[in-house]
Amino acid sequence: MCFFYPILSPCTVKSEWARESLIAIQKPIGELALLASFAALPTLDGNDGAVVVCYRSYFPARGAAVY
């Protein structure tokens, strides 16, 4: 699973950073986490003109069942 955020803005308010530590991320993924906090901003999708914040893609493993 891949998430793409076209427009990210760094959080400059200290209270915004607190939400990043509310949920512990399990190892080894937590070791790859960015040491920063961002706010995702909306943008227009060039395909259909819809307002989006994030695009999600799924890349199945080789030989995996695709439903």
First to last CA, the chain: 15
The pLDDT, as a whole number, for residue 22 is 64
DSSP string, 18-64: GGGGSSPPPTTGGGGS-SS-EEE--EE-TTT--EES-EEE--PPTT-
Residues 6-62 have pLDDT tens digits of 888 887 776 666 666 666 667 777 677 667 777 888 999 888 988 988 888 877 778
Domain boundaries, given as residue ranges, for the chain: 2-57
Cα–Cα distance measured from residue 64 to residue 25, given in angstroms and rounded to the nearest whole number? 26
Residue 6 three-state SS:
coil
**Pair of tokens at residue 19:** 């939400």
Question: How does residue 3 score in pLDDT terms, banded at 50, 70 and 90?
Answer: confident
* pTM reported for the whole predicted model: 0.50
